[in-house]
Chain A
Amino acid sequence: MNERELRGLIDRVKLGRMSRRGFVRRMAAVGLTAPLAAQLLAYSGVAMAQSKSTYKPTKRGGGGQLKVLWWQGATLLNPHFAVGTKDQDGSRLFYEPLAAWDPDGNLKPKLAAEIPSRENGGLAADGKSVTWKLKQGVTWHDGKPFTADDVVFNWEYAKDPATAAYTIASYKDVTVEKVDQYTVTVKFQKPTPFWADAFIGARGMLIPKHLFADYIGAKSRDAPTNLKPVGTGPYMFKDFKPGDLVTGVINPNYHQANKPYFDSVEMKGGGDAVSAARAVLQTGEFDFAWNMQVEDEILTRLEKGGKGRVAITPGGNIEFLLFNQTDPWTEVDGERSSLKTKHPTLSDPEVRKAIALLVDNKSIQDHIYGRTGPATRNYLYGPERFASKANPIEFNIDKANDILEKAGWKKGSDGIRAKDGKKLKFVYQTSINQPRQKTQAIIKQAAQKAGIDIELKSVTASVFFSSDVANPDTYTKFYTDLEMYTTTMGQPDPGTHCLQFASWEAASKDNKWQGRNITRWQSPEADKLLRDAEVELDPVKRAAIFIKLNDLAIQNHIVMGIVQRPTVSAKSLQLNADISGWDNNTSDLSDWFKDA
């Protein structure tokens, strides 16, 4: 899909010939996130849709206790220090951002009075500032009013490197000014088409100035409020045991009428995903469980318990396979997989093409992930029916054999193909996780039939995903031929996500393997696209660039998608809870309720 086609689609939405939702889906198919698609529309003058409210209760409270299960419990409750989603989800019980992402990628106001747009004057024409109107009459849990000063303070707090806030990236390159008591302006250094980052969603939760003002910078760790949150959210803090329990009670002064529905909330941590699913789906001990990384086969059986159902929300996470472009078995200047080397066999595009044909995405979906992992070949992906025709899923052992045969890889007496004395033997690593090991087994078996020998290696997740410079088993070192993991699209904008393909980002000893290009692919063509995207201000053109980049990487078999990893949760049958793939699980907690 090129720029012209993109514009054509946007026009169809403008004229009402295509639904917003249809457009968002179409964009997802070519690898753009829903929030980015919504931004494209907003930029082209199609106002953001109002999130529809399905909230039914007509009075505050009365819903009893809401019991939710996170099999990894929250370990801290200051949203600026929240590392994983578990911590953000826990903080979200008490803290709120100005606006949250809804499942369709639209912004939903929380502490903002309205979403900025061209029409209401919130967005500057030059794209260099956004003005937010704050909701009036909101109070913190301790009764102090919420004002523009609090918003400005959060920016000062997070951007200070000495505070060491994990949210720093959203704040360090902007300036925030107070216009009046209930208005703030966020200013960008250069025109920024994607403005919806600071104060929004998971990294936008706001903490009160009056309790944190003395703990900015190096003293940040000593703030007593780090452990006893005081926010504006639907529930007020009651108790916190890291890794085990977060409890809250209803906020009687919550700023939205008739909300929240539940009188108290209990977020229990620990255990494993399967038993969490049991507690919701089979026994009904709990109302909601997070992140059901469980084989669909089991989930389906558990759903027969009749107490709950599985909810699947699309997001941007993808399980994918990486082909090492460098030689992991030769050490050069103290590092393996050095840029100075070339992979002895995988550098042959025909070999990569053959391996791609040996990945049975369909069976992996059907027999392992089921509903929780729709098959895809894209790196940036979307729902199947809109999937880019450019990257179809093809599994064909005969064809793979053919390709290898033609390329001169002949089977030896051991059944393994070789050429010039180099055998097609690969080591394939991933983290330890049941579905991953099964995926490995499926790929290994197909490869065997094509004369490729694969040795499976699995590394415990805490090592695999670590940044330990001394450890050879981390995913960024990539000291094997193939590897597989899930990459999370932390931000709706694919900018950082696509640095995977930038030659200057190649992970190496020099950058302590912090580079984002894990395969070490060196492609002038990809580099040019990325450079173009950096300076491109027109979001439509920029979107077209990313679409092209995705196709380039997939068709060259540098990476390949295996399955999508949508957000999967378990809900009791009575619970109404909207989960957004672009924001925290608990982002809409104020609107959760149970059918009577």
Chain B
Amino acid sequence: MIPSLLGISVVLFALLALAPGDPFDELATNPAVPPEVRAALRAKFGLDDPIWMRYWHWLAALLQGDWGFSFVSRMDVSTLIMQRLPVTLIVIGASQFLAIAIALPVGVLAATRPYSLFDQIANTVAFIGFSLPTFFTGLVLILIFSIQLDWLPFVYRADINATGWAFYWEHIKQSIMPVTVLGLFQGAALVRFVRSSVLDVIRLDYVTTARSKGIGERKVITRHVVRTALIPVVTLVALQMPIVFSGAIVTEQIFRVPGIGSLLITSMLSNDTPVVMGVTFVSACLVVIFNLIADILYGWLDPRIAYR
């Protein structure tokens, strides 16, 4: 795992170094800033060194627990990330949790009664969920719940001056819309996957065998069907998990959720490479870890799987 992460970090670093843009761009276009200042800054942040040397510095610092220093905000990358992490974990985590908690049972139920009314409704909602972009669904919710009904605020404020229950209530109120938008989007795909893989498994011979043995329908579904059907679902959830850390750029933008996604996009737009590198490398680690977990889970879900 370590060599694989090292390899990924090399590619990421090279990509960011090669991508167009320069963190001190705005200086160059500002007539009031002489070129010497830019040169001094580039030297100060080591931007004139060759790429391999910069990578080496970055890696050496990382091994000592130093994530780098933001060009734009002039503070430690780790501080910037830590400021954003709690909100990201809460909001994106909640939507992910909701998506899984709702999609699993809905998908299974829809698959056991294919083309029933319930299945049709579940499918239609799912199609809406992934055929409409989040920038659109988010806006529709804002227009309905903030502007027409005036029930919910649409600007997410991490810093609420209230105490006790009011504090939590305010937080819940402002989280409802972003969590719904994201949950719908992620849950929609999940429902379709669960439904499809349960349908695949449900007609396999061993299920029929189990049924013919007189095992109750409920038990057949939960014990035999869902377990095998979970393999693709686990794969998909593992693929989605890293965004609990790296955030959802569009949704965060719409509701002004100060999560890591919005940090990432502003850093990208201002070419603040150390921050982008920090965030993408952490999410790369999560990608690798979650996919590893998925591989382990496959073995548990289907004991015959062996990694030869």
Contacts and interface: CB of A to CB of B under 8 A. Distances in A.
Tell me whether A and B are bound partners: yes
Contact of B25 (A168, A244, A465): A465
Interface stretch (B51-59, B147-155, B193-201): B147-155
A221 B37 contact: no
B73 A514 contact: no
Contact of B256 (A203, A242, A271, A462): A271
A166 interface: yes
B253 A270 contact: yes
B25 A467 contact: yes
A207 to B, nearest CB: 14
Given A466-B22, A471-B20, A496 B158 contact: no
A161 interface: yes
Interface residues of B, number: 53
A65 B155 CA distance: 16
Contact of B31 (A221, A241, A496): A496
B28 interface: yes
B68 to A, nearest CB: 13
A169 B25 CA distance: 17
A268 B22 contact: no
A462 B254 contact: no
Contact of A270 (B72, B83, B262): B262
A170 interface: yes
A226 interface: yes
Interface stretch (B104-112, B124-132, B208-216, B265-273): B265-273
B163 interface: no
A164 B37 contact: yes
B34 to A, nearest CB: 6
B41 interface: yes
A61 interface: no
A439 B40 CA distance: 39
Interface in B246-293: 252-256, 258, 262-263, 266, 268-271
A241 B258 contact: yes
Given A244-B258, A245-B159, A514-B28, A468 B147 contact: no
A530 B269 CA distance: 36
B69 interface: yes
Contacts of A172: 34
Nearest to A496: B31
Contacts of B225: none
Nearest to A462: B269
Nearest to A226: B74
Interface in A41-96: 65, 69, 72-73, 75-76, 78, 81, 83-84
A226 B74 CA distance: 8
Contacts of B266: 72-73, 75, 243, 270
Given A168-B33, A462-B271, A463-B20, A266 B159 contact: yes
B302 interface: no
Interface in A218-271: 218, 221, 226-227, 239, 241-245, 247, 266, 268-271
Contacts of B37: 161, 164-166, 168
Interface string A500-524: 0000000000000010100000000
Contacts of A114: none
Query: Which of A84, A161, A466, A468 counts the most B-chain CB atoms under 10 A from its CB?
Result: A466
A279 interface: yes
B36 A271 contact: no
A168 B21 CA distance: 24
A271 B155 contact: yes
Contacts of B147: 278, 282-283, 305
A131 B262 CA distance: 46
Interface residues of A, number: 64
B32 interface: yes
B41 A164 contact: yes
Nearest to A167: B32
B64 interface: no
Nearest to B69: A221
B70 to A, nearest CB: 8
Contact of A271 (B20, B35, B253): B253
B249 to A, nearest CB: 11
Given A83-B27, A271-B254, A490-B32, A247 B146 contact: no
Query: Which of A69, A221, A465, A516 counts the most B-chain CB atoms under 10 A from its CB?
Result: A221
Contacts of A165: 37
Contacts of B26: 83-84, 465
B34 A462 contact: no
Contacts of A546: none
B218 interface: no
B157 interface: yes
Nearest to B35: A514
B223 interface: no
A242 B69 contact: no
Contacts of A214: none
A247 B157 CA distance: 12
A535 interface: no
Contact of B72 (A76, A463, A467): A76
A491 B271 CA distance: 26
Interface string A457-500: 00001110111101101001000000000000011000011010
A77 to B, nearest CB: 9
Contacts of A468: 20-22, 25
19 contacts: A73-B266, A83-B26, A166-B27, A172-B34, A226-B74, A243-B263, A243-B266, A247-B159, A268-B157, A270-B252, A270-B258, A271-B155, A275-B154, A278-B147, A285-B154, A305-B147, A466-B28, A471-B20, A491-B32
Given A239-B159, A466-B28, A468-B21, 6 more contacts: A241-B84, A271-B155, A463-B21, A467-B24, A497-B31, A514-B28
